[in-house]
Structure formats: C-alpha cells, structure tokens
Amino acid sequence: MLIDIQDLYKIYNEGQESEVRALDGVSLQIDRGEFVAIVGASGSGKSTMMNVLGCLDVPTRGRYDLNGTDVTSLKDKELAHIRNREIGFIFQGYNLLQDLDALDNVILPLIYRGTSIFEREELAMAALARVGMDGRAHHRPGQMSGGQQQRVAIARAIATHPPIIMADEPTGALDSKTGRHVLSILQQLYREGTTILLITHDDGIAATAPRVVRLSDGKIISDAHQEVDWL
C-alpha cells in the first residue's frame, strides 16, 4: 500500500463557534501505480486532502502512512525529503518562481535533492523535453502562456522522478485544448508507472480517471473504479 490514511481529521478553529471540518474522519487507500481523481465541489475538502497527502500540511488527528512510514511522526527535515523525492506537485496557479527562467525552475528541486552540478542541467533539460518545453528553457514564466507555464511546472514535478504526482486543478486555469494536453502528459506518466492523484471539481476531467473518489463536506461519499477510453 502506497498511501494509507485512517480516520483523518483536519479541523480549523476546533471547539470554537467557527469550527470548520475540512477533513472529517477520512479513510482511503491508494496503491502504487493508480490514477485517482479526487472530486468535489468547492469547500468539499479536496484541496486540504491533497495538502495533507502531500505533506504540505499536518492533519489534526488520524493516521497517515506513506510507503509504510507514519508521516505524522516525521520532523520538518524528513517531510522536506518526502516532498522532494517522493512527491511531485502540480498546482492550479503553476507556482513557478518568477525571477528564474524555466530551466532554473526545473533545476531547483534537483538542487534541494543534492544532485551534482554536472547532472542537474541534463536532468532538467530531459524533464523539459518530456513536456515539449526544451525550446523555452531560458524564458521566464512571465514570457510564457499559461499552458507553457503549466508544462514547465510539470517538468519541475517530474525532474526528480518521484513515484507520486499530485496535481491540484492542473487544468483549472487553462483553455480546454491546453487542458487536454496537460492531462495527456499525466496519462503518459501513469502508463510509465507513476501514481497520479488528480484533484478537480470538473466532472468531465474526473471522467478520464480510472478511479474516482468523491468528497463532500470533508467526507468520502463515493469511491469507484471506471472504464476510461484512453487505456
């Protein structure tokens, strides 16, 4: 089991009038090599889910085992290692560093990983080539379209070859054609064995995932496998 969460809670302002239960006792198991869409309306807790699964946030209560390790007991340094080596993030707003060009953005996780200076550029260029952005290596985010920025962000996520990719509304800011292109890149990664977690509010996109987990008010209301046309 790659991801195993048991009875997970994320509660803001607990015990107060304004208490919000973003995750309300969620249990979920995801195997290595799955493609899972986590779907829900705005405020359903799906982003919180990804933040907790991605070790960007800590749960209030509950158990989270990643690769057999209890993540809730880990220290900042070990969490940083997991974010660097185990998980690649793709955000709705791309989250590229504006002052760095595409190549430097992709190199960044390799720097934090401690990859030698001689390999870094090669690995980063390879990642850019995978998303078809090797021709724009020295453009800054401000000089690229949204779709291009998202492809650079994907290159950054896959530069360290993490076993898991977590994408939070990756197509949310893109037009449908570019969105499809981004999705096809994720599908290709899935075919190569990467575990994909896709967070979306769009049922159309959810329909392309072999497994769909539906969230509402911080609870899982359905968890189903389905046939998809691209497999």
Partner 1 sequence: MNLMQAFKMAFKSIASKKMRSFLTMLGIIIGVASVVIMVSVVQGMNKRNMEYLEAQGENKIQVYAFQYYGSSGNVSDLLYEYCLGMQDLVIGVTPQIEVWQDITIKYGAKTFSTQNYDDWTKRLSIQLGSDQFGVCNNYTLGGGRELSFLDVEKTNKVCVLGGGAKKILFDFVDPVGETIFINSQPFLVVGWYEPTGLEGMSSMDNVVLLPYTFNRTLNNNQNIEQYVVKARSATDTTLAIARLKAFLGGFITNGENGYYDVSSNNNWADQVQEQSLMQSLVLGAIAGISLLVGGIGIMNIMLVTVTERTREIGIRKAIGAERKSIIVQFLIEAAVICGIGGLIGILLGCMGALIAGKFLLQGMILWPSSTIAVGAFAFSVALGVLFGMYPAIKASSLQPVEALRAE
Question: 56 or 126, CB closer to partner 1?
Answer: 56
CB of 159 to partner 1, least distance (A): 9
CB of 81 to partner 1, least distance (A): 7
**Ramachandran bin of 45, using left for φ above 0, alpha for ψ from -120 to 50, beta for the remaining angles:** left
Residues in Cβ contact with 37 at an 8 Å cutoff, skipping those fewer than 6 apart: 198, 199, 200, 205, 206, 208, 209, 211, 212, 213
Distance (Å, rounded) from C-alpha 130 to C-alpha 133? 8
CB of 29 to partner 1, least distance (A): 23
CB of 135 to partner 1, least distance (A): 23
Question: 111 or 228, CB closer to partner 1?
Answer: 111
Going by DSSP bridges, is the β-strand pair 211-216/195-200 parallel, antiparallel, or unpaired? unpaired
Distance (Å, rounded) from C-alpha 218 to C-alpha 231? 31
CB of 16 to partner 1, least distance (A): 19
Question: 199 or 206, CB closer to partner 1?
Answer: 199
Which residues contact partner 1 by CB under 8 A? Answer: 51, 54, 56-58, 76-77, 80-81, 83-85, 89, 91, 95-97, 99-100, 108-109, 111-114, 117, 156, 160
Question: 56 or 173, CB closer to partner 1?
Answer: 56
Query: Which candidate, 72, 66, 71, 61, places its Cα nearest to that of 25?
Result: 61
Question: 16 or 98, CB closer to partner 1?
Answer: 98
Distance (Å, rounded) from C-alpha 124 to C-alpha 105? 9
